[in-house]
Amino acid sequence: MASSSHLPYAQRAQKHPHPLGRRLFEIADRKKTNVVLSADLTNTKELLAIADRLGPHIAVLKTHIDIVSDFGPATVEGLTELALRHDFLLFEDRKFIDIGNTVQKQYKGGALRIHEWAHIVNATILPGEGIIQALDQTIREGGICERGILILAEMTSKGSLAVGEYTRISVEIARKYPQSVLGFVSTRELSSHSPAATQDEDFVVFTTGVNMSSKGDALGQQYQTPITAIEGGSDFLIAGRGIYAATDPVSAVKEYRKAGWEAYERRVQQVGSASR
The residues carrying an active-site annotation are 93, 95, 98
Contact 148, 180 (CB under 8 A): yes
* CB of 48 or CB of 229, closer to ligand S5P: 229
> At 120, is the secondary structure helix, strand, or coil?
strand
Strands 181-185 and 89-96: unpaired
C-beta nearest to ligand S5P: residue? 240
55 binds ligand S5P (CB under 6 A): no
Strands 35-38 and 148-152: unpaired
- Which of 106, 221, 224, 225 touches ligand S5P (CB under 6 A)? 221
21 binds ligand S5P (CB under 6 A): no
Residue 161 φ/ψ region, left for φ over 0, alpha for ψ in the -120 to 50 degree band, beta for the rest: alpha
How much is the CA Rg of the chain, to the nearest whole Å?
Answer: 17
Residue ranges of the binding site: 40, 62, 156, 221, 240-241
E strand map for the chain: 35-38, 60-63, 89-96, 120-123, 148-152, 181-185, 204-207, 236-239
Contact 186, 153 (CB under 8 A): yes
Residue 233 φ/ψ region, left for φ over 0, alpha for ψ in the -120 to 50 degree band, beta for the rest: left
- Which of 209, 226, 233, 260 touches ligand S5P (CB under 6 A)? 209
- Which of 38, 44, 106, 207 touches ligand S5P (CB under 6 A)? 38
- Which of 239, 253, 259, 263 touches ligand S5P (CB under 6 A)? 239
Counting residues that bind ligand S5P (by CB under 6 A) gives 16
226 binds ligand S5P (CB under 6 A): no
* CB of 209 or CB of 233, closer to ligand S5P: 209
* CB of 155 or CB of 229, closer to ligand S5P: 155
- Which of 34, 240, 263, 267 touches ligand S5P (CB under 6 A)? 240
Residues that bind ligand S5P (CB under 6 A): 38, 40, 64, 93, 155-156, 185, 208-209, 211, 221, 238-242
